[in-house]
Amino acid sequence: MSTPRVFLARHGETEWTLNGRHTGISEIPLTPHGETQVRQAGRSLVGPGRLIDPSRLTRIYVSPRVRAQNTFLLLLAGCAGAPLEHVNVLVTEEIAEWGYGRYEGWFPAQIREDRKARGLDKERPFDIWRDGCEDGEGPEGLKGESAEEVRVRLDKVIKEIRELQAPYMNGEKNVDVLLVGAGGGGG
């Protein structure tokens, strides 16, 4: 046994990731190429004796977005013979993509143009990590998140993982963790 590890798997290519649009809560499916990317990664990285060995996994966190769900299934598709019943799979908003709010589906240039037209960012250009995202407009306005809000929810997951792995840092038990979500933070 060895020191516990945490693996991060970003979802495969979607139409919006391919063309650079901000994708938060929109349910954009993987492209055929995205599915191929994930299958190839799974064959190379996941399986008995590979980097991500299912027998070493104890927990998997998955974003609720369909692109992350499909990535999870395709990534582990080659593990049919490997035991996974001991793995706790948690589908959680805690690792969901950034809430882009008003900017959902927008290109970075559109965000800059919109903010300029509304008189924002006079002193410095928009930076999602500093400025966050505004809520959308109208009755169905999407919630925009700040970097602090994203940090808070991700810190909850990090705390859970630390608590899970801390007693076994010398390899006393297999407690590897896999997270399947998005890259996030464009702008």
Residue 113 labeled ligand binder: no
Query: What would the two tokens of residue 130 be?
Result: 């500093």
Q: Which of 13, 22, 94, 97 is catalytic?
A: 97
Residue 98 labeled ligand binder: yes
Residue by residue, DSSP assigns the chain as -----EEEEE---BHHHHHT---SSS-PPBPHHHHHHHHHHHHHHBSTTSSB-GGGEEEEEE-SSHHHHHHHHHHTGGGTTS--TT-EEEE-GGGPPP-BGGGTT--HHHHHHHHHHTT--SSS---HHHH--PPPPSTTPPPB--HHHHHHHHHHHHHHHHHHHGGGTTSSS--EEEEEE------
Q: How many CA atoms lie within 13 A of 47 on its CB side?
A: 13
Residue 97 labeled ligand binder: yes
Residue 100 labeled ligand binder: yes
Confirm whether 97 is a catalytic residue.
yes
Residue 129 labeled ligand binder: no
Residue 99 labeled ligand binder: yes
Catalytic residue list: 11, 97
Annotated binding-site members for substrate = 23-24, 67, 97-100
Annotated binding-site members = 23-24, 67, 97-100
